[in-house]
Every structure is written in structure tokens, then in C-alpha cells.
């Protein structure tokens, strides 16, 4: 709890003075006003985060946290839990969806075991930060204790702090965990105070959406999570990787680093971080509109508008990695694009030389 409290105290809002300067610079560029749309808002946000107009988003990393879920016992997914192990090892080898997209963007993928049911080989290339061997079955009782929920958040903070210390200046959240759409839908249902049917989709595959919804209803009824206490919600119906991703968001905000969030599951994790400290929203860059049913509401609750419409719902951090080049473009615009005044001066110089010939 000490690390979490210290991190929360460290979080401040954007540098509004620098953001205003960035707005003035963007408006002065040689283009019609607002004509570069969201690239302009990204550049202004980045300037406010970094507290400078010269932007550097060179070193990017997707932190993908993996964990299993005890609610798998309720047959809410067609996939065996071994897929969590398989994909986590795939992150380390570099051949999963997020890895190939991240590689194309010049970014790293950092896989973390925060709660996989099995023990991974120590030399597999996955950071081992296991809080417990998967959550307990939330349909029968709390997914984890309050202390374990806090520990999962602090794992995310620790890993993100280390990556930032090693030079990463852009982070993204990713995940792996069979049944984590079940936990995410449960968390969102509690925060939004709506019936699970409104926010529950098929996830990676399930025979009966109705059954999945009924299990989530049962979990909420059994545990009675307090919507005004984010840690209570996480501990009772959440997941260890959700806590870990929330920690990554908190660390990014505390260290004044932008954090690109992926789709539905990452957005719910960001919502947990937001419930703990609303100022984290200043540091969040939402990547894409996920096809998962609850994603639209999760975006609305958090008050964000993702950048891309790609009909994706893979997870892993894949959509976040896909959005990395947009940060590069926004930074290039801010750093290298000429202003209208500079262009006019250059034109006058050229015309003067032409007339003197």
C-alpha cells in the first residue's frame, strides 16, 4: 500500500502553461486552422505531459500483464486456461499479434506474469511478479483479497517505474488472461451501475452470452462490491492483470509519461486507475474503438474518444501498438513543420533572389 499511496500523491495534472504554448505553436503552423485534427490534440497533450515543446516519443513499450481467472470454472469461455500460458510465452518470443505490430512500430513488448495459474520457466523471458495462481471464482466469493488487489496494482507500478527508469518515454497497456472480459464486464457493470447485459460481449468465445451474463450477475450479487471503492471492486470481481494495468497507468501519470491504452479490458483497467486518481486521465491516449460490446460504454464512462476504428478486439495491447505511429506523426508535426510566418519569409527570400538574377 505504501508504493500505491506514494504514487497517487505524485500525480499532478498537465502543465497548462506549456499546453497553451503548444496550442499557439500548432495554430501558427503553415496549414488551415485545426486541419490536422487529432494529431494536433495529441501533440498538445504530449507537450503538457512532458512539459516541453520539443517532443520525443522514441522509446515505446507495451507492458502486457498476464493472469488467470477462477471464474473459468463457470464455463464462461470456450478457451482452456492453458492459452494464457501459451500466449504469454509467445509474447516473450515475439510472435503474437501485439509483438508483430509493436515491432513494426519500433516498440518493445514487456510480458509480465502477475497471476498465471502455472509456473513459467524462469528463462522464458517473462517477468515473474506473480501475486497468486489466478484469482478465485468470483461467482462464489471475492476474486482476491483487498491486499492482493493492492499488490497487483503495485506490480504494475513497479514494472512501469523500471521501464521508465530504463529510458522508456511512452508506455502502453496490454493483457492476456482467459475470462478477462468476464471480469472486465463485471467491473464496468459495478462502476456504471448497470445490468451486466449492457456491457457483456462474447470475448474470445463463449457458447452462451446469456450464461456469461448470469454468472456476472451472480458474482456481483454474492460479493456486493462498493462502486465508490475501486480497490473493493477490483478485489471482488476483477482480475490481477486489471490491477496490474491500472498500476501501469498510475505509474505513467506519476512519472509524466503518456500511456496508450488498448481496447475494452485496458479501458476498464484505466477506469480503475481513474477512480483512484482522476488526474490520470490527462496522461491517457486511447488507441482504438474495440468491437467488444462494453467498450463504447467504458469509453463514455472514462470520457475518452479513441483514435482508430479498426474493428479489432484481439487485446494483448495490439491496438495500442497500432496507434504508436500516430504519436510519431504528432511529434514530427510539432518538431519539424514550418510556421506560416517562416514559410512566408522563405518565399520572400526565394522571390528576392529570383528578381536579382
The pLDDT profile of the chain, 357 residues, written as one tens digit per residue, is: 899 999 999 999 999 999 999 999 999 999 999 999 999 999 999 999 999 999 999 999 999 999 999 999 999 999 999 999 999 999 999 999 999 999 999 999 999 999 999 999 989 999 999 999 999 999 999 999 999 999 999 999 999 999 999 999 999 999 999 999 999 999 999 999 999 999 999 888 888 899 999 999 999 999 999 999 999 999 999 999 999 999 999 999 999 999 999 999 999 999 999 999 999 999 999 999 999 999 999 999 999 999 999 999 999 999 999 999 999 999 999 999 998 888 778 777 777 776 766
Contact indicator for 84, 117 with CB cutoff of 8 Å = yes
Q: Is the Cα torsion angle 150, 151, 152, 154 positive or negative in sign?
A: positive
Contact indicator for 265, 315 with CB cutoff of 8 Å = yes
- Joined grid coordinates for residue 17: 502553461
Q: What residues have CB less than 8 Å from 61, skipping those under 6 apart? A: 107, 108, 109, 110, 163, 168, 170, 171, 172
- Joined grid coordinates for residue 166: 530504463
Helix (H, G, I), strand (E, B), or coil: what is residue 238?
coil
> What are the counts of helices (DSSP H) followed by strands (DSSP E) for the chain?
14, 6
Q: What is the spatial distance between Cα 92 and Cα 97, in angstroms, rounded to a whole number?
A: 12
Give 195's DSSP letter.
-
Q: Centre a 10 Å sphere on the Cβ of residue 349 and count the other Cβ atoms it contains.
A: 10
Please return the burial class of 217, using the count of CB atoms within 10 Å of its CB with bins 0-12, 13-18 and 19+. middle
Q: Which of these is catalytic: 148, 316, 341, 342?
A: 316
Which helix (H) or strand (E) segment is 66 a member of?
Answer: strand 60-67
Q: Is 316 a catalytic residue?
A: yes
Q: What is the spatial distance between Cα 150 and Cα 72, in angstroms, rounded to a whole number?
A: 22
Q: What is the fold, at CATH topology level, of the domain defined by 60-328?
A: Rossmann fold (3.40.50)
Q: What is the spatial distance between Cα 209 and Cα 198, in angstroms, rounded to a whole number?
A: 11
Helices (H), 257-339: 264-276, 295-302, 318-336
Residue corresponding to grid cell 497471476: 115
Query: What is the pLDDT, as a whole number, of residue 357?
Result: 62
Angle at 150 between CA 149 and CA 155, to 5 degrees: 100
Q: What is the spatial distance between Cα 135 and Cα 138, in angstroms, rounded to a whole number?
A: 8
Q: Centre a 10 Å sphere on the Cβ of residue 304 and count the other Cβ atoms it contains.
A: 18
CATH 3.40.50.10210 domain span(s) along the chain: 60-328
Contact indicator for 178, 51 with CB cutoff of 8 Å = no
What pTM value is reported for the model? 0.96
Query: What is the pLDDT, as a whole number, of residue 205?
Result: 82
Residue among 323, 344, 329 at smallest CA distance from 43: 329
Q: What is the spatial distance between Cα 333 and Cα 25, in angstroms, rounded to a whole number?
A: 10
Selecting from 3.40.50.720, 3.40.830.10, 1.10.1610.10, 1.20.1250.20, what CATH number does the domain 15-54+334-356 have? 1.10.1610.10
Q: What is the spatial distance between Cα 230 and Cα 296, in angstroms, rounded to a whole number?
A: 20
Residue corresponding to grid cell 486552422: 33
CATH 1.10.1610.10 domain span(s) along the chain: 15-54+334-356
Give 109's DSSP letter.
E
Query: What is the pLDDT, as a whole number, of residue 344?
Result: 79
Residue corresponding to grid cell 452462451: 208
Computed over its alpha carbons, how large is the radius of gyration of the chain? 22
- Joined grid coordinates for residue 13: 495534472
What is the C-alpha end-to-end distance of the chain, expressed in Å? 74
Residue corresponding to grid cell 486511447: 286
Q: Is the Cα torsion angle 179, 183, 188, 194 positive or negative in sign?
A: positive
Amino acid at each position: 500500500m505504501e508504493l500505491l499511496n506514494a504514487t497517487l500523491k505524485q500525480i499532478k495534472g498537465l502543465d497548462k502553461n506549456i499546453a497553451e504554448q503548444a496550442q499557439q505553436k500548432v495554430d501558427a503552423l503553415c496549414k488551415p486552422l485545426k486541419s490536422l485534427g487529432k494529431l494536433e490534440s495529441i501533440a498538445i497533450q504530449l507537450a503538457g505531459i512532458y512539459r516541453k515543446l520539443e517532443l520525443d516519443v522514441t522509446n515505446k513499450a507495451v507492458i502486457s500483464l498476464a493472469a488467470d481467472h477462477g471464474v473459468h470454472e463457470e464455463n464462461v469461455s470456450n478457451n482452456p486456461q492453458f492459452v494464457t500460458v501459451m500466449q504469454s510465452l509467445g509474447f516473450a518470443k515475439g510472435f503474437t499479434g501485439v509483438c508483430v505490430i509493436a515491432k513494426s512500430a519500433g516498440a518493445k513488448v514487456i510480458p509480465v506474469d502477475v497471476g498465471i495459474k502455472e509456473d513459467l520457466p524462469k528463462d522464458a523471458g517473462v517477468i515473474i511478479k506473480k501475486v497468486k495462481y489466478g484469482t478465485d471464482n468470483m461467482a462464489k466469493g471475492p476474486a482476491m483479497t483487498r491486499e492482493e488487489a493492492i499488490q497487483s496494482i503495485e506490480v504494475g507500478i513497479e514494472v512501469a517505474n523500471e521501464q521508465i527508469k530504463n529510458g522508456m518515454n511512452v508506455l502502453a497497456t496490454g493483457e492476456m488472461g482467459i475470462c478477462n472480459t468476464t471480469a472486465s464486464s463485471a467491473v464496468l457493470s459495478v462502476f456504471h451501475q448497470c445490468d451486466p447485459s449492457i456491457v457483456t460481449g462474447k470475448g474470445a468465445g463463449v457458447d452462451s452470452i446469456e450464461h456469461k451474463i448470469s454468472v456476472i450477475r451472480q458474482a456481483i450479487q454474492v460479493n456486493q462490491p462498493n462502486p465508490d471503492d475501486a480497490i473493493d471492486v477490483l478485489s471482488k470481481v476483477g482480475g490481477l492483470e486489471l490491477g496490474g494495468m491500472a498500476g501501469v497507468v498510475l505509474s505513467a501519470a506519476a512519472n509524466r509519461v503518456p500511456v496508450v491504452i488498448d481496447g475494452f479490458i485496458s479501458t476498464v483497467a484505466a477506469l480503475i486507475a481513474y477512480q483512484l486518481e482522476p488526474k490520470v486521465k490527462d496522461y491517457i491516449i486511447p488507441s482504438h474503438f474495440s468491437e467488444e460490446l462494453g467498450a463504447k460504454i467504458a469509453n463514455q464512462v472514462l470520457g475518452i474518444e479513441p483514435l482508430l476504428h479498426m474493428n479489432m478486439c484481439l487485446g494483448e495491447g495490439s491496438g495500442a501498438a497500432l496507434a504508436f505511429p500516430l504519436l510519431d506523426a504528432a511529434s514530427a508535426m510539432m518538431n519539424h513543420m514550418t510556421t506560416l510566418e517562416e514559410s512566408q519569409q522563405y518565399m520572400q527570400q526565394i522571390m528576392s533572389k529570383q528578381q536579382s538574377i
